[in-house]
Structure 1
Amino acid sequence: MTTAQTPQPDLSSDQAAAADVGADGAAAHPAEAKLAEVESRLAEMSDAYLRAKAEVENIRRRSEDEMSKARKFAVESFAEALLPVMDSMEAAIAMPDAKVETVLEGVHATKRQLAAALERNKVLEINPAAGVKFDPHQHQAISMVPAEQEPNTVVAVLQKGYTIADRVLRPALITVSAPR
């Protein structure tokens, strides 16, 4: 048995290069294959970079919008808590002929409403008792007076102070005992 050989036609250089490509389409030259692979990776990474950059920009824009809304509506819950206080005051004004006792009772009720609204919004009183050690972070000493108690302790509260979420909004105005 003899095998018949078919004659090979003459190939041009382009055709020869195409003939060098294997069945899987890979170039016969390793440098060309490596270049194609690197270009492919570069395209993938460039695409991933652009997507990540766009995502970061979107996150920045969304967080700026959220911060703007938070600033704009920060007092919304506080204002909502104060509305019943306003209603009570308007009701008192609408009754000009009310007895003093009735007005005083209404003022006390309105004060309780206001105190509850402040407390719900984390606005708390600083009202130190007599004998409490002077705290410059929460108290403002107006004067020193001679007293029978320890030096630098609260003698009297002239005006209550307030904190909001553990931050001093207004220090309590106090007198403190002088050293003996």
Structure 2
Amino acid sequence: MNENEKPQITEQKENQSALDQLIKEKHELLEHLRQLKAQFENYKRDSLREKEQVLKNANEYFLVKLIPVLDDMERAFEEVRRSKSYKNFYSGMEIIYKKLWKILNDEGLFKIEPKEKFDPFEHEAVERVETDEKEEYSILKILENGYKFHKKIVKPVKVQVAVRPRGENGAKTE
């Protein structure tokens, strides 16, 4: 071996050693990446399972509160069957209705109390009545109640609204 080849061989050995080290690091990083991916998949699965359990628990909590209302209704129906009298049935149902509303209010459900004027954020106009007797877009009649769960509208109030009469050509009359 001549003097010129020695540094080349040393340099090749150093390069090979560096390459081997890089390959080793690459394999370690790939293995670490596989582990992280598996951990993340496990986390997603566990997180989904936990959300489902929280939902089940919330539903159970709510349903347990409704059981006494069901029991009261069964007693009321049984009383009517037994006595063949509806005398106390209405007042009993009214008490049960109030009890149910108390539970629903405690959980955040509230009936929307419509104002006189149509509000597209809280109302759904399902009927329009042409009239001069009321201001345009006044609510004439509540057709179905609407509800909010906390501050979110879960069912708009279905209403009948007043609109200005249209003339023969279809234009609004003033």
Whole-Å Cα distance in 1 between the matches of residues 75 and 12 of structure 2? 94
**Count of aligned pairs:** 153
TM-score, normalised with respect to structure 2: 0.68
| Residues 1-180 of structure 1 aligned to structure 2 (within 5 Å) | 29-69=13-53, 75-96=59-80, 97=83, 102-129=88-115, 131-135=116-120, 138-146=123-131, 148-179=133-164
Which secondary structure does the structure 2 equivalent of 1:124 belong to? strand
Shift of 1:70: 5.5
Q: In structure 2, do the counterparts of structure 1 residues 142 and 75 end up closer, same or farther at CA, with 3 Å as the change threshold?
A: farther
Q: How far apart are the structure 2 equivalents of 1:79 and 1:92?
A: 20
State the SS of the aligned residue for 1:94: helix
Give, as a single letter, the amino acid of the residue that structure 1 aligns with 2:147: Y
TM-score by length of 1: 0.67
User: SS where residue 177 of structure 1 aligns?
Assistant: strand
Displacement after TM superposition at 1:45 (Å): 0.6
Return closer, same or farther for 1:127/1:141 CA change in 2, 3 Å cut-off. farther
In terms of fraction of residues, the more helix-rich structure is 2
Counterparts of 1:43 and 1:136, CA distance in 2: 58
In the TM superposition, residue 165 of structure 1 has moved relative to its aligned partner by 5.0
Separation in 2 of the partners of 1:78 and 1:140? 32
Tell me by how many angstroms 1:173 deviates: 2.5
Contact in 2 for aligned 1:125/1:163 (Cα 8 Å): yes
Gaps (5+ residues) in structure 1?
A: 1-26
CA separation in 2, counterparts of 1:78 and 1:142? 35
User: Is the contact made by 2:122 and 2:157 (CA closer than 8 Å) also made in structure 1?
Assistant: no
Alignment CA distance shift 1:29-1:173 (3 Å): closer
1:15 is matched with which residue? none
- Structure 2 gap ranges (5+): 1-10, 166-174
